[in-house]
Amino acid sequence: MAELPVPASSSEAPPHAAGALIRGRLLAGGLLALAALIVVNTLLGPVGSAVIEYPVPDDGALKSQLVALDIFAVAVVAPLAVCAGVLVLRRHRLGAMVALAPAVYAAYMAPQYVLGPQYLRYDGNGEAFFPLHLALFVLGWTTAVLAWQQLDPAAWVPPARRERIVGGILIPFLAVVAFARYIPALLDAAGSHPSAADYQEGPGYFWTIALLDLGVGLPAAIAAAAGMRHGAAWARKTALALSGWLALVGPAVGAMAVAAWLRDLPDASAGQAAAMTVLGLLFTALTLTLFTTLRPALPQPVKEAAP
């Protein structure tokens, strides 16, 4: 007699559920490791023990920016990565959404530690800490990819009118405010005698940021705005990643302006610090606005099986 097949135990999770659980644990682990590396980088940098000596002038604009970035990273970005990791472990639907912001931020900032310094012009030991910054970069983009994969655009459906407003007004406004500043900056950098103090100290920082902003951020904003106006699900994910990045980069730039003003640098002023701080908070507010435009999709009615 042929043996009857033994049914699988009801306690066993289906393959897709087991895979989702593994990916969730990988994302949570990546976020916690990313937070730890951010803290280590800050403790080793000029804010902490100053073991890392970046090849930049000690009294210049770039040193002030690095100090501000490290403080912002350990005070805001690392805690946000931990919160996102906890949400992912608890399988909260906001976990992947929140995870995009610190992951993309880390992938964006890490190259600047490597490509920005003038290694042959100033003394320092930044080269010795390339593995640390490489790990930050790799963890940043891999964690962002994991968060992107786990973010289900069908689970969040904004009202059609709000989606058109976000795609037609808010995202284009973000793009104009964030990227229009490059017009005078590029004209100055391309001139025969650039006047910006931070550019004179280290043009590598400027060109690295410009390449990332104009080569990745701006096209992503254009694509997200166009896609959301037509209700494309992928555009919602792009908009969430873009807005999360700007929500952190905006205040970080504001922190750099405040640090430059506090150190009384030549190109800094109280007005500029206040303007950049307000602009950074505006980016955060617009990001929260985008999050509030999303609402859980209505459950689909269950179709009855044909007799």
Which tokens belong to 12?
Answer: 């066993």
Alpha carbon distance 304, 92 (integer Å): 30
Output the pTM of the full model: 0.83
The pLDDT assigned to 191 comes to 85
Rounded-to-integer distance, Cα 246 and Cα 251, Å: 8
Distance CA 182, CA 268 (A): 18
How far is it, in rounded angstroms, from Cα 133 to Cα 107?
10
The tokens describing 30, both together, are 């990546």
Specify the 3-state DSSP secondary structure of 19.
helix
* Residue type (1 letter), 83: C
Find the radius of gyration of the CA atoms of the chain: 22
pLDDT category of residue 297 using cuts at 50, 70 and 90:
low
pLDDT tens, position by position, 92-118: 878 888 899 999 999 999 999 999 888
3-state secondary structure labels for all residues of 235-298:
HHHHHHHHHHHHHHHHHHHHHHHHHHHHCCCCCCCHHHHHHHHHHHHHHHHHHHHHHHHCCECC
Inform me whether the pLDDT recorded for 9 exceeds 50. no
pLDDT at 155: 62
Question: Is pLDDT larger for residue 277 or for residue 144?
Answer: 144
pLDDT in tens, 194-248: 888 788 888 988 999 999 999 998 898 888 888 887 778 788 888 888 888 888 9
The amino acid at 187: L
